[in-house]
Amino acid sequence: MNESQRKTAEGILFTDQYQLTMAQLYYRTGLHEKNVQFDHFFRNYPDYGTHKAGYCINAGLEWIVNWMQTAHFRKEDIEYLRSQTTTTGRQLFNKDFLAWLRKNGTFDSISLLAIPEGRVVHPNVPLTVVQGSLAMAQILESPLLNQLNYQSLIATKAARIHETGRGQTLIEFGMRRGHEKGVNAGIRAALIGGADFSSTVGISHVLGYPPKGTHGHSMVQVFMALGEGELGAFRAYADVYPDDCILLVDTINTLESGVPNAIKVFEELKRKGHEPVGIRLDSGDLAYFSIQAAKMLNDAGFTEAKIVLSNQLDELVIWQIITQIEEEAPRYGVDADNLIRRLIYGVGTRLITSNGDSALDGVYKVVAVEEKGEWIPAIKLSETPIKTLNPGYKPVWRVYDDRSKATADVLGLQCDDPIKNKRITLHHPTDHTKLRILSKGEVSEIEPLLTQILTQGKLTYDLPSIDEIRAVRKNDIARLDSGVKRIVNPHIYHVSLTQALWDLKQSLIESLKKDTSYHVKTL
């Protein structure tokens, strides 16, 4: 794509066609400027097949907010829409609608509440609440979901990997296997979720994190082809990067060639007064090789040398590596804890593409329409009860138990005030037999989660830095029950409705079953 094509593909036309045809229908029927509310939420935690998430990390808000503030229908966009035709060859979008779009087709009317980035989030909780004119709120659906679904997916995966790696340095390595330019958004999300650095240069610079890396097999191969061998390659690298020397030791044979050659070069470096950093293992049994390499490095006096592990890592593989090291290292006279603290994880494909479950199922559903100054809840029934929407504007509270651990997210109505109540009744979203009652004494804190971000298109929120978002994530994960954090078979965290919201939902379902052109009481 050239620059002009890119602007077309990434500007306001980065949306689905049906958003535009629906917007025109709203225009024709006079509904286009009606005030509505859409909720964005996801229905299921990522399920990676052999393992599954018990929480998600919210991410992507800043980038969609930035996009909203510049996206508008340019002359070229309108021209293109004007050229679209129906099956019978008529103009698909009419002149008056296009004139309205050109003039009003921005997100200046949109207000947005959201749970901030870095927060732990759960299914069926509104993460983003969009209020504004129907036509533009509708057009926003696709780009908003595109940004938030992907970044939250990757932040979640990064958090899991970071937790499993016991907080050791985690470097994102995935641009070569990621989904084209989307990797830049993924890298931002990985940093939010728990990666400490990325190998990708440009976006690291933009986000203010120094890019990290070692060297590739190609460097060793070139020196080998020219008759200078692996040792020649290592020496050259140590010569150019004496204080940042991490050597990739598996081009020929890890334990017979790579590690001995690395130790030779490290000894030379040391004699010259430099501190070698470590080695990288990129193939084979990483647990076994890291124990053996640690033993060889220890014997040579490099007891602090780092060992970077890469090659199809994810939380499950890292868990297995750590377990195997704990079991086997002592047998070889290597201290397991010391070795685990020397590990650095380079995680590529399986982080940046969230391998196993490559999409978060976030949706964007209309939940209320304003009519004569009153909000009317909108609902959608479904063959699957869990898919039946929670109607209207719903404040969200997080309830912490007496150990200060998060115990439930509660959706209510504006008339609700759980902070003042003596006891909190928690309803399962769909199963009326599941009730939980919390007394005041069991609750240490009740925290509202939704924050005003945009007010009529204006940013009314201080966008935090990535470091600040990382601190939020760290704090939230620390307040999760360890059962919820299990990487396999996690506990189900409670997402509940207050009595008032439960009652409203039931009455709507009943009226809808009776009459499909129902009229309901306002909120």
Q: With CA atoms as reference, report the closest residue to 130 among 367, 477, 385, 471.
A: 367
- 61 lies in the binding site for a second copy (CB under 8 A): no
Q: Of residues 241, 264, 421, 466, which one binds a second copy by CB under 8 A? A: 241
Distance CA 236, CA 249 (A): 14
- 458 lies in the binding site for a second copy (CB under 8 A): no
Please state the closest distance from residue 122 (CB atom) to a second copy, in A.
19
- 66 lies in the binding site for a second copy (CB under 8 A): yes
Q: Of residues 96, 99, 103, 239, which one binds a second copy by CB under 8 A? A: 239
Q: Closer to a second copy by CB, 250 or 476: give it.
A: 250
Give the count of residues interacting with a second copy (CB under 8 A): 136
Q: Closer to a second copy by CB, 305 or 410: give it.
A: 305
DSSP string, 288-357: HHHHHHHHHHHHTT-TT-EEEE-SS--HHHHHHHHHHHHHHGGGGT--HHHHHHHEEEEE-HHHHTTTT-
Torsion of CA 461, 462, 464, 468, to 10 degrees: -100
**What one-letter code names the amino acid at 229?**
G
Residues 309-368 that bind a second copy (CB under 8 A): 349, 353-355, 357-362, 364-366, 368
Residues 69-128 that bind a second copy (CB under 8 A): 80, 84, 86-88, 90, 92
Q: How far is CA 288 from the centre of its chain?
A: 32
Q: Of residues 142, 324, 425, 455, which one binds a second copy by CB under 8 A? A: 142
Give the C-alpha distances (Å, rounded to integers) separating 60 from 126, 146, 249, 263, 480.
15, 9, 37, 44, 22
Please state the closest distance from residue 33 (CB atom) to a second copy, in A.
13
Q: Of residues 106, 211, 455, 468, which one binds a second copy by CB under 8 A? A: 211
Residues 189-208 that bind a second copy (CB under 8 A): 199-206
Applying CB under 8 A, the span of 159-167, 233-241, 333-341, 474-482 interacting with a second copy comes to 233-241
Q: Of residues 116, 118, 132, 186, which one binds a second copy by CB under 8 A? A: 186
Residues 6-45 that bind a second copy (CB under 8 A): 8-11, 13-22, 24-26, 28-29, 31, 34, 36, 38
Q: Of residues 151, 156, 164, 290, which one binds a second copy by CB under 8 A? A: 151
Q: Of residues 169, 182, 425, 459, which one binds a second copy by CB under 8 A? A: 182
Q: Closer to a second copy by CB, 116 or 377: give it.
A: 377
Q: Closer to a second copy by CB, 29 or 475: give it.
A: 29
Rg over CA atoms, the chain: 27
CB 277 within 8 A of CB 305: yes
**What one-letter code names the amino acid at 420?**
K
Residues 278-307 that bind a second copy (CB under 8 A): 283-284
Q: Closer to a second copy by CB, 254 or 496: give it.
A: 254
Please state the closest distance from residue 216 (CB atom) to a second copy, in A.
6
Please state the closest distance from residue 266 (CB atom) to a second copy, in A.
15
Q: How many CB atoms lie within 10 A of CB 49?
A: 9
Residues 393-432 that bind a second copy (CB under 8 A): none
Q: Of residues 129, 175, 190, 480, which one binds a second copy by CB under 8 A? A: 175
Please state the closest distance from residue 254 (CB atom) to a second copy, in A.
8
Please state the closest distance from residue 466 (CB atom) to a second copy, in A.
13
Q: How far is CA 181 from the centre of its chain?
A: 16
Q: Closer to a second copy by CB, 348 or 418: give it.
A: 348
Handedness of CA 111, 115, 116, 122 (dihedral sign): negative
Distance CA 365, CA 381 (A): 12
Distance CA 25, CA 21 (A): 6
Q: Closer to a second copy by CB, 321 or 426: give it.
A: 321
Distance CA 457, CA 109 (A): 5
Distance CA 422, CA 323 (A): 46
Is 273 exposed, middle or buried (CB count within 10 Å of its CB: 0-12, 13-18, 19+)?
exposed
CB 163 within 8 A of CB 153: no
